[in-house]
């Protein structure tokens, strides 16, 4: 884990404050794998202007930290911190200006591992009194590959990272693309996906171990059994046929679980020209 004073420090933006559009009694947190922020910026900007979520976790930026569009986000009224790398991965947290600039920013995991992939950033949002992390779990490619072994190792490291730095009794949100469907209800074809890196029992167990830290699935808290997906492949008309997976999650600790009021996936963001293959998940909490 690194801090903003190091060479790999996250980029930050200092926005001007627009009029608040959210209810004073609620706040909204979104998570969205944009599959290249550079390619998707023309969609992200109007989406932010239209929905005005209080906090946004972005994944798969596919750009170096220095190239992160701080000024554009500042113009939209968002503070931003990012942890990127060339071509692959990359994560960011956006916070509306009225909540104050993110503090206590950390990138990666401070466990001595040589892994340099930009897959984790966390920060405290002062005005909301909570800590937020944006998480991009490795995909794993295939269960017989080194990449799947890396995925499982990354998940074990993340579990230990939570134990070192966080408490299940503090207000904590972990939003991101976890590349795991926790249950068969989160997959359009459970039998066909069972032995893949998304649904394999080892991956599901690794995610369950993370949840056992003291986390709750915010969407399932309010929608315990609905078929809701966050990802659809670009191929084979997967989106219009609703051949989807729920692999993007917003986990919360107990202090936020009972304040969770609503959760939805914005399918409109998956439509139109050059969309990401993921749609944003938005969760509303009581202040």
pLDDT for position 54: 98
pLDDT for position 9: 46
When pLDDT is averaged across residues 162-173 and rounded to a whole number, the result is: 98
Residue 151 lies in a domain: yes
Q: Which member of 136, 148, 178, 229 is catalytic?
A: 136
pTM more than 0.85: yes
The whole-angstrom distance between residue 114's C-alpha and the CA centroid of its chain comes to 23
| Residue 177 annotated in active site | yes
pLDDT digits (tens, 9 = 90+) for 23-35: 789 999 999 999 9
Residue 200 lies in a domain: yes
Average pLDDT, the chain: 93
Q: Which member of 177, 186, 217, 248 is catalytic?
A: 177
Nearest Cα to Cα of residue 179 among 140, 146, 144: 140
Q: Are 120 and 136 in contact (CB under 8 A)?
A: yes
Please give the tally of structural domains in the chain.
1
When pLDDT is averaged across residues 204-226 and rounded to a whole number, the result is: 97
CATH code of the domain containing 37:
3.60.10.10
| Residue 42 annotated in active site | no
Residue 241 lies in a domain: yes
Residue 4 lies in a domain: no
Residue 45 lies in a domain: yes
Residue 3 lies in a domain: no
Q: How many CB atoms lie within 10 A of CB 46?
A: 11
| φ, ψ dihedrals at 65, nearest 5° | -55, -40
User: Cβ neighbours of residue 19 under 8 Å, at least 6 residues apart?
Assistant: none
Residue 60 lies in a domain: yes
Range of the domain at 89: 11-286
């Amino acid at each position: 884990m690194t801090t903003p004073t190091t060479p790999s420090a996250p980029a930050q933006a200092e926005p001007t404050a627009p009029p608040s559009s959210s209810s004073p009694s609620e706040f909204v947190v979104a998570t969205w794998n944009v599959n290249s922020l550079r390619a998707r910026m023309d969609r992200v900007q109007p989406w932010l202007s239209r929905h005005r979520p209080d906090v946004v976790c972005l994944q798969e930026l596919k750009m170096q930290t220095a190239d992160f569009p701080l000024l554009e986000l500042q113009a939209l009224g968002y503070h931003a911190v990012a942890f990127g790398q060339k071509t692959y991965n990359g994560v960011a947290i956006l916070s509306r200006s009225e909540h104050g600039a993110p503090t206590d920013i950390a990138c990666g995991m401070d466990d001595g591992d040589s892994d340099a992939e930009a897959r984790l950033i966390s920060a405290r949002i002062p005005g909301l009194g909570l800590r937020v992390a944006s998480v991009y779990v490795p995909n794993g490619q295939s269960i017989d590959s080194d990449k799947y072994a890396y995925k499982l190792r990354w998940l074990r490291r993340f579990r230990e990272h939570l134990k070192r730095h966080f408490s299940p009794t503090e207000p904590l949100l972990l939003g991101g693309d976890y590349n795991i469907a926790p249950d068969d209800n989160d997959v359009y074809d459970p039998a066909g996906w069972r032995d893949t890196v998304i649904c394999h029992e080892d991956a599901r167990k690794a995610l369950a171990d993370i949840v056992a830290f003291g986390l709750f699935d915010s969407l399932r808290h309010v929608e315990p059994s609905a078929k809701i997906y966050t990802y659809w492949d670009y191929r084979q008309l997967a989106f219009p046929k609703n051949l989807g997976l729920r692999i993007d999650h917003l986990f919360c600790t107990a202090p936020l679980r009972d304040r969770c009021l609503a959760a939805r996936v914005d399918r409109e963001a998956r439509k139109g020209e050059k969309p990401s293959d993921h749609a944003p998940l938005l969760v509303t909490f009581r202040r």
